[in-house]
């Protein structure tokens, strides 16, 4: 990141605003002169060095590293380091970075008490969003937007997300609080805190892979929302809170839950084809298929999760969910020409790791927080207030009538 101070950021943005806001206001009044792209589809709004997503080729890379290479060789910690520092770490750098994350992983008693006073029926995403807001109040450097301060905030958020989610889930069930184990890595610590016992090596590798593959994905809805907040020069915590609220929406973060519910409803591999054909006849959407970006090629992340699903099923000695998932994928390709996206195979992987359905979206947040924080820091480094136009299609000018004349 560049070494701009907060004052520099404010000055640069303020200098730019006087003309841009005027132009925006004029643009809003020119009815019919601006092409409308609903949902900003196909609109490029910024340059980024973080992530390359190519829907036509079905490719994805982080900082130039192909997602396949990352999936086969990297850890989640390496991925976070790469996103924040632009380069893969050396062994010494990774050891220091992992130790720094471990130091920040636990939450203090005050933060934990916030989780315990929330009603038991509060959704985990709401608990996570509330706790992140509380973390900002406890951060003495919350008002500091310099790059080093933001890296520290990002490290706290990445480290604490799994602890918050796991311990809120435990509190809901009346289970004892579990502190993170300093000897365990990021993925294995989450499973340990959630379940109360250390995961197997294969389970750790599966959790690591799922988190790595979901760590970053360009200007998706939650990332863009975070950048909009950051563009106002609000703080890191506010930007991340915005992202959490956006991910909570079922059109963004809920596909993996619904994909797993579908597999549970199907029940047996023999039921797959009649179930899918009946659902399609009702014009029901099959969750986990198709993608806003990957329209002509498969999501490159799905194949790696399919392989991991097979390994988890093999470890359990039961290929039940692997057979159902692959049969659904084959049926959808044959009938609709659609390929599974990352949510489809992630669903049974998370389920076999013992993660309950209500935590699927929070796990998405745990995985995506490195990407959110990286994107926020990039926004700060080259900021301009994000202010799109709207094409006014309401009534033309109407004279005001006094209330007694209406």
Active-site residues: which are they?
252, 291, 343
- Secondary structure class of 16 (helix, strand, coil): helix
- Secondary structure class of 74 (helix, strand, coil): coil
Q: What is the DSSP letter of 54?
A: E
Q: What is the DSSP letter of 190?
A: H
Please, what's the b/e burial string for 155-188 (b: 16 or more CB within 10 A of its CB; e: otherwise)? bbbbbbbbbbbbbbbbbbeeeeebebeeebbbbb
Q: How far apart are CA 189 and CA 333, in angstroms?
A: 37
Tokens 């720094």 -> residue: 100
Classify burial at 38, counting beta carbons within 10 Å of its beta carbon; exposed 0-12, middle 13-18, buried 19 or more.
exposed
Continuous segment of H or E residues that includes residue 208: helix 201-213
List, as one string, the DSSP characters of 218-247: SS-HHHHHHHHHHHTT--HHHHHHHHHHHH
Query: C-alpha distances in angstroms, 155 versus 16, 100, 187, 377, 393?
Result: 31, 8, 15, 12, 45
Contact 349, 312 (CB under 8 A): yes
Question: How many Cα atoms occupy the beta-carbon half-sphere of 22 within 13 Å?
Answer: 5
Q: How far apart are CA 177 and CA 38, in angstroms?
A: 46
Q: What share of the chain is helix, strand, coil (3-state, %, to 5)?
A: 65, 5, 35
Q: How far apart are CA 198 and CA 204, in angstroms?
A: 9
């Amino acid at each position: 990141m560049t070494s701009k101070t907060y004052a520099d950021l404010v000055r640069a943005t303020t200098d730019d605003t006087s003309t841009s806001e005027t132009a925006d206001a004029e643009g809003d009044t020119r009815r019919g002169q601006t092409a409308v792209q609903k949902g900003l589809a196909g609109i490029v709004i910024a340059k980024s060095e973080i992530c390359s997503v190519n829907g036509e080729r079905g490719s994805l890379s982080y900082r130039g590293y192909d997602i396949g290479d990352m999936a086969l060789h990297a850890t989640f910690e390496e991925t976070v380091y790469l996103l924040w520092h632009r380069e893969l770490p050396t062994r010494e750098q990774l050891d220091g970075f992992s130790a720094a994350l471990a130091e920040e992983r636990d939450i203090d008693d005050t933060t934990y008490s916030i989780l315990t006073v929330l009603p038991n029926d509060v959704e985990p995403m709401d608990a996570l969003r509330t706790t992140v807001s509380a973390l900002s109040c406890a951060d003495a450097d919350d008002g500091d937007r310099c790059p080093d301060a933001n890296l520290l905030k990002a490290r706290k958020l990445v480290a604490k997300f799994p602890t918050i989610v796991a311990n809120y889930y435990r509190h809901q069930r009346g289970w004892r609080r579990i502190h993170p184990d300093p000897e365990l890595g990021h993925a294995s610590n989450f499973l340990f805190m959630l379940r109360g016992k250390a995961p197997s090596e294969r389970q750790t590798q599966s959790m690591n892979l799922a988190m790595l593959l979901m760590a970053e994905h360009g200007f998706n809805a939650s990332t863009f929302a975070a950048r909009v907040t950051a563009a106002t020069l609000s703080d890191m915590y506010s930007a991340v809170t915005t992202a959490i609220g956006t991910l909570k929406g079922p059109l963004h973060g809920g596909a993996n839950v619904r994909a797993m519910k579908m597999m549970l409803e199907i029940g047996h591999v023999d039921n797959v084809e009649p179930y899918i054909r009946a659902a399609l006849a009702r014009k029901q959407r099959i969750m986990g298929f198709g993608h806003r970006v990957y329209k002509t090629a498969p999501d490159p992340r799905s194949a790696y999760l399919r392989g991991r699903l097979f390994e988890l099923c093999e470890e359990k000695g039961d290929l039940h969910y692997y057979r159902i998932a692959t049969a659904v994928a084959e049926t959808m390709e044959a009938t609709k020409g659609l390929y599974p996206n990352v949510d489809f195979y992630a669903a049974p992987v998370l389920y076999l790791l013992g993660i309950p359905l209500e935590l699927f979206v929070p796990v998405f947040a745990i995985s995506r927080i490195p990407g959110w924080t990286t994107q926020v820091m990039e926004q700060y480094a080259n900021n301009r207030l994000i202010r799109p136009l709207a094409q006014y299609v309401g009534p033309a000018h109407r004279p005001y009538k006094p209330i007694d004349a209406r």
